[in-house]
Structure 1
């Protein structure tokens, strides 16, 4: 599998895509599915616009995808027609709820396990792990009202804790520390600062730099 999990900054994306897809920079004609379910309640927010603009500056063509309400066969066809998938930041529980309720979680996992490069950002990074429970202090579990458990996509065996440097106002150092103290004994956690990313390369996980 080819996986890049971001906290916030996008600097690691281009080298990842070039390496994972044998693409050439600039990524002319390159197509990335942008799964936006985590951002549905944040329409028009500055961070949403900035995140999408940052990806558009790197990629040849962004294909907006909303898992909730998209029939699974159509969702799968959309993923079959792109070169990578980007799962955007926002609410971890809204994202997981949407993927589960639509039945599209399994289709996404199957495509990634078959080789489709996966890029996650914040919430999109958290759901890639085995269990999103450690996000309960950072995001609101009520955003996923239909969830009966918090099992993630299990693409990796760690749960990412993004914004671990405490520089982003919604996630101050005290909240990050409380999250780590609460869950480090029960979950395998990987804290990521906003200038870091978690890369899976040949089955091995490593923390790398990801500058703005």
Structure 2
């Protein structure tokens, strides 16, 4: 049974935080919570990654570990009590997961039931593909990847930060709706303070 939490921002509300710990309630507290850092080129040195690790320490997580898919031992990932894919750039993250070969390992672990938290870009790559983002933000595909299929641990597509991005671009609603109509796919738009919890591909949205 898959146990997946998605949000725009990390632990931004008490309910999102509670839901994360509820997902991993039955896990071994001595096993690491692994944070995938490859959504940004700075990796472990990025302030966002360091801040997330420190947040987990403050929340009494015993072993938060920053994990680089290119350089770190896959055995660490396989021992995770929970996995977090942090925010950044979705195309960069997807490229890194596929190029390193770690994407398939990660998919297998998630489908086996390892609790997983996708934040922003991390939430996007857990879905079927990045087709919406290729249509709206083609310039973000820095490596010009042709294969933009996601990890596909869920059929659910997410657009994070929708409230913030709509203010910045009032045509966003029309762009997403046009893509939905053309592809016959549905996109869940979530605001910065919202989360989606997925259990066996059934989604429950909350804030």
Q: Which category of TM-score, normalised to the shorter sequence, fits these structures?
A: 0.7 to 0.9
Deviates more, 1:179-188 or 1:2-11: 179-188
**Do the aligned partners of 1:31 and 1:83 also contact (CA within 8 Å) in 2?**
yes
Compared CA separation, residues 56 and 173, structure 1 to 2 (3 A): farther
Counterpart of 2:186? 188
Residues 22-47 of structure 1, C-alpha deviation per residue, up to 9 Å, x if partnerless?
259xx964621000100224876665
Select the residue among 23, 26, 43 that pairs with 1:20. Answer: 23
Compared CA separation, residues 21 and 175, structure 1 to 2 (3 A): same
Deviates more, 1:135-144 or 1:123-132: 135-144
Compared CA separation, residues 139 and 55, structure 1 to 2 (3 A): farther
Compared CA separation, residues 116 and 189, structure 1 to 2 (3 A): same
Cα displacement (A) at 1:134: 1.2
CA distance in 1, matches of 2:42, 2:137: 16
Partner SS state of residue 163, structure 2 = coil
CA distance in 1, matches of 2:53, 2:21: 19
**Do the aligned partners of 1:35 and 1:67 also contact (CA within 8 Å) in 2?**
yes
**Do the aligned partners of 1:33 and 1:62 also contact (CA within 8 Å) in 2?**
yes
CA distance in 2, matches of 1:177, 1:29: 44
Residues 95-134 of structure 1, C-alpha deviation per residue, up to 9 Å, x if partnerless?
0000110111110000011110110000000001001121
Cα displacement (A) at 1:69: 4.3
Is 1:65 paired with 2:63? no
Residues 36-76 of structure 1, C-alpha deviation per residue, up to 9 Å, x if partnerless?
10022487666555444434433332111111345xxx32x
CA distance in 2, matches of 1:30, 1:139: 39
**Do the aligned partners of 1:85 and 1:118 also contact (CA within 8 Å) in 2?**
yes
Counterpart of 2:168? 172
**Do the aligned partners of 2:34 and 2:84 also contact (CA within 8 Å) in 1?**
yes
Residue segments in structure 2 that go unaligned for 5+ positions in a row = none
Is 1:123 paired with 2:125? no
Counterpart of 1:112? 110
Residues 141-180 of structure 1, C-alpha deviation per residue, up to 9 Å, x if partnerless?
33334x2221101111121100011269xx8242632541
What is the number of residues matched between the two proteins? 200
**Do the aligned partners of 1:130 and 1:152 also contact (CA within 8 Å) in 2?**
yes
Counterpart of 1:34? 35
RMSD: 2.8
Counterpart of 2:140? 141
CA distance in 2, matches of 1:52, 1:22: 19
- How does the TM-score come out when normalised to structure 1? 0.80
Deviates more, 1:200-209 or 1:49-58: 49-58
CA distance in 1, matches of 2:38, 2:171: 24
